[in-house]
Structure 1
Amino acid sequence: MTCGTGGGGEGGPERNEDPVREQVRFSALLEDSAEDLYEHAPCGYLSTLLDGRIAKVNTTLLDWLGHRREDLVGRLHFSDLLTVGGRLYHETHFAPLLRMRGEISGIALELKAADGTRLPVLVTSTVKTGSDGQPLLIRTTVFDARDRRAYETELLRARREADRERERLRNLATTLQKTLLPPALANVPGLDVSAHYHIASVDEVGGDFYDLFPLASGTWGLFLGDVCGKGAAAAAVTSLARYTLRAAAVYDPAPAAVLANLNTVLNHEYQGSDPRFCTVVFGLLTPDRPRGGFRITLASGGHPPALLMRADGTADFLPTPGGQLIGVLPAPDIVTTTVHLAPGDTLLLHTDGLTEAHTHATTGGTERYGDDALLDFARALAPTTASDTVGAIRDLLDALGTGVDDDTAVLAIHVPRTPSEEQQ
């Protein structure tokens, strides 16, 4: 077997190449590559005199704009290639900043093509100076921003679409929330009633609910509750709870029986991997003819105790200890208490969004608003009316601001005094 030696011997053609001729050829290739790189670079190049007249422009930019070289060089200024808005920006911002800094980069402008179309570009310019430090000309690099503009346009469109969808969902949530609350509370002769629902987030449907409605002649039912969770699932439980309470009260208005019926429905309907439950207080109102005012019997299923603000200026929680959540156990412990509302007394029912709210502590952190603060708040209000109580709580919730991270429902009932009683 023989080995070829033509490429590596002394007689090989590469070794016979004249080194000088090779160097000249390589230099010419470099010059040609440099010129070709300038003319056909992936970006546009142009040089202008200090007054803005175009002195040199590469083929790439000419192709983008559809101009001939002789139409631009020595005849037009760089600003002539800009749109009206771009020309104004160039004169008021671009050119002054360039003169002051000597360079400016990444400026978004639009160039006018020969056919009248607009080319979005990003422009970077630097001032070339001579050996004496004096400016000679301006070198400008132009980057095609059409893909970027298309991306930004699509991003803006997607953002607007997302905003519209978010607004649509908010409107849907607001509408759904309204359907879960009574359009108006029943008018009870001899009673002043006021209610308020504070929405913690407009993006989600809360699970708080309340109502006041007539039953048999001279009897009214009322309830206020809070379903666990938020969103559509909680809304479904809220709707079921509201209609079950009203239907159960017609069948047997005894407060403990009403909550027992609701517990049976929830415990049967929501079992397995997705249990649902609520806290709720149900009351039965009847006029107290002999003494005046009203007699109210309350049954509590794991709900925060009601606040009673007396006409004499005292206030305290009504004792309903030990009541268990509704919907969790087959037979929960349901606590009942009865109280007389005399003229001048006010009863306040509320969900735990109020007491679970956070307030800024003096140390700079946050702390739970709590039952004690609410009791102090009620004692400062008493004696009061239903509308004044709800108005004060609305102000309190507004003052707590973002510290209220759960929906809050309040229902206040007040027995007004007669003119003769107010004079006593």
Structure 2
Amino acid sequence: MCGTDQVPEPGDEVVDTTDAVFTSLLEDSVEELYEQAPCGYLSTLMDGTIAKINATLLDWLGLERSQVVGRMRFADLLTVGGKLYHETHFAPLLQMKGEVSGIVLDIKAAGKQRMPVLVTSKVKTSDDGEPMLIRTTVFDARDRRAYEAELLRGRKAAEEARRQSEADRLRLQEALAVLQQSLLPTELPAVPGLEASSHYHTASPDLLGGDFYDLFPLDSGRWAFFLGDVCGKGPQAAAVTSLARYTLRAAALHNADPITVLATLNTVLHERYASGEGRYCTAIFGVLESDEGHVRVHLASGGHPSALIHRADGSADYLPTPGGLLIGVLPQAPFTAAHTDLLPGDTLLLYTDGLTEARTGPDRELYGEDALRTFTAAQTPAGPQALITALSGLLASFGDGLDDDTALLALGVPASLPTPASEDLT
């Protein structure tokens, strides 16, 4: 046997002391585990008086056992705020439910330091269900509190970054809106014997669009107008838009023939961007000339959707300009001209393809030119402003189906002007 020099003979009675030693060690281990546990333990009477407390919690508190057992209540170990919470929430809840777990409180630790702890308490009852004492486990929550503080700082930093990003985005949107407005006329000029109205719908406040339009005088009896759409978005498209606008105005003042004006723009765009990434646009350019009660219209198109005429009798139809090529693609490009007369009550509508290429319905089908003609014919002929108002409402109704900028320009003759007795319209 271990611990003796004697070897048992056969038939001798052997006394096994393993169970006794294990029981002794277990009893020592249980007591040591209670006293030196990584968390605090204490038992209190039902009034909160501390009846038992382990060494770990005493060490946190910086107190001797004789100062605590039978002399202090659990609430006396807490800070003022913790004590108030214990009396108003913790203790009543424990009395009602018999158990409370995972409550964060602050105890008065050694050196008058505030120590966050995680507290779980359970009421021990007698066999007949009478409450006898309260057993409480106290966990050190300093690491958790530090983690929560760091997490909170991280959340605050993320929220501040989000707010800063949103503020930067708003500033960018404001700058883009100002730049977008600089590419459009501030307001349309008043033209004798003519009404004019326009609308610009921005699909995204975060991107510069490439749609443009203008109306300006050529001489005492003629006015020029144009509307176009630069392919692409962003600063590059804005640069092309600016170049196109000023080229069209300058070319018109030199020679206002619509085909000649578009040919000049084609030459400028092709030469400017031939050596790099190609830039091109579509456009309609036209000239208005008043002639005793009606307005003659002479226009040309370069790859742009045909103008739509809303007549005084309520009918609506397109002014065909087939065959016009995109402006800036080739060194020389063919453009198509067309003529018409606007009588009192007639309105000429120019638009960019953001309108007809809007997606509608559950299948997100293209709105299309036929639908636009039908919509226009359904409107009461009341002049450019009324038509633009109706169309701006239509654009708004597309919602997220409208994913491209849209420019509208309507020019019309007031219905109050007398209609000539005989007029051969073309």
Bin the TM-score by the shorter chain.
0.7 to 0.9
Are positions 1:281 and 2:284 aligned together?
A: yes
In structure 1, what is the Cα distance between the partners aligned to 2:123 and 2:91?
19
**Unaligned regions of 5+ residues in structure 1, if any?**
1-17, 40-44
- Which of 235, 241, 260 is the matching residue for 2:263? 260
8 Å Cα contact 2:98/2:123 also seen in 1: no
Q: 1:254 to 1:146 in 2, by over 3 A?
A: same
8 Å Cα contact 1:309/1:382 also seen in 2: no
8 Å Cα contact 2:202/2:209 also seen in 1: yes
Are positions 1:401 and 2:395 aligned together?
A: no
Number of residue pairs the alignment of both structures matches: 385
Letter of the structure 2 residue corresponding to residue 307 of structure 1: L
- Which of 149, 173, 186 is the matching residue for 2:152? 149
Are positions 1:223 and 2:261 aligned together?
A: no
8 Å Cα contact 2:214/2:225 also seen in 1: yes
| TM alignment of 1:235-384, pairs within 5 A | 235-289=238-292, 292-361=293-362, 365-384=363-382
| TM alignment of 1:55-94, pairs within 5 A | 74-76=74-76, 80-81=80-81
Q: 1:251 to 1:140 in 2, by over 3 A?
A: farther
Equivalent position SS for 2:289: strand
Aligned equivalent of 1:191:
194
8 Å Cα contact 2:37/2:56 also seen in 1: no
Further displaced range: 151-160 or 93-102: 93-102
Q: 1:265 to 1:152 in 2, by over 3 A?
A: same
Letter of the structure 2 residue corresponding to residue 384 of structure 1: A
Q: Select the structure of larger CA radius of gyration.
A: 2
* 1:205-254, Cα deviation, whole Å (9 max, x unpaired): 11111110111221111111111111111111111111111111111111
In structure 2, what is the Cα distance between the partners aligned to 1:411 and 1:155?
45
Aligned equivalent of 1:12:
none
Shift of 1:93: 11
Percent of aligned positions with the same letter in both sequences? 42
8 Å Cα contact 2:34/2:54 also seen in 1: no
- Which of 125, 128, 147 is the matching residue for 2:122? 128
Q: 1:139 to 1:327 in 2, by over 3 A?
A: farther
Shift of 1:186: 1.7
Equivalent position SS for 2:38: helix
**Unaligned regions of 5+ residues in structure 2, if any?**
1-16, 421-426
8 Å Cα contact 1:193/1:413 also seen in 2: yes
Shift of 1:104: 6.6
Aligned equivalent of 1:206:
209
8 Å Cα contact 2:94/2:121 also seen in 1: no
Further displaced range: 197-206 or 28-37: 28-37
TM-score, with structure 2 as normaliser:
0.76
Shift of 1:392: 0.2
Equivalent position SS for 1:308: strand
Equivalent position SS for 1:196: strand
TM-score, with structure 1 as normaliser:
0.76
In structure 2, what is the Cα distance between the partners aligned to 1:58 and 1:221?
96
Shift of 1:97: 11
Letter of the structure 2 residue corresponding to residue 410 of structure 1: L
Q: 1:46 to 1:33 in 2, by over 3 A?
A: closer
In structure 2, what is the Cα distance between the partners aligned to 1:61 and 1:258?
94
